[in-house]
């Protein structure tokens, strides 16, 4: 079973390689989607793929890379999207 989620990650998540680390995890777990910085300081993540892998990424977003300080993660399931890879933008 496949699914897609969109998450908004708050805290100290910009300037700490959050997007690159998210991409690394997503690629390792064969997910597609993207991670991008938002003007308000949050990171937005769209992740699509096998449901278990998407769930693992969602759990990882609660912690993030070593220098991040995640305060909140707000995720919701969204319609499946056919994306070729995982990008940062």
Catalytic member of 19, 23, 42, 56 = 19
| DSSP-assigned beta bridge partners for residue 86 | 33
Q: Is 19 a catalytic residue?
A: yes
Q: Is 42 a catalytic residue?
A: no
Catalytic member of 12, 36, 37, 42 = 37
Cα within 13 Å of Cα(84), Cβ side: 0
Burial class (CB in 10 A: 0-12, 13-18, 19+), 22: buried
- Active-site positions read 19, 37
């Amino acid at each position: 079973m496949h699914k897609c989620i969109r998450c908004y990650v708050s805290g100290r998540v910009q300037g700490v390689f959050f997007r690159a680390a998210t991409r690394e995890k997503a690629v390792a777990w064969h997910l597609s989607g993207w991670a991008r910085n938002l003007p308000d300081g949050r990171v937005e993540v769209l992740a699509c793929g096998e449901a278990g892998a998407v769930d693992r990424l969602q759990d990882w977003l609660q912690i993030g890379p070593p220098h991040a300080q995640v305060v909140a993660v707000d995720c919701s399931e969204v319609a499946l999207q056919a994306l070729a890879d995982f990008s940062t933008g």
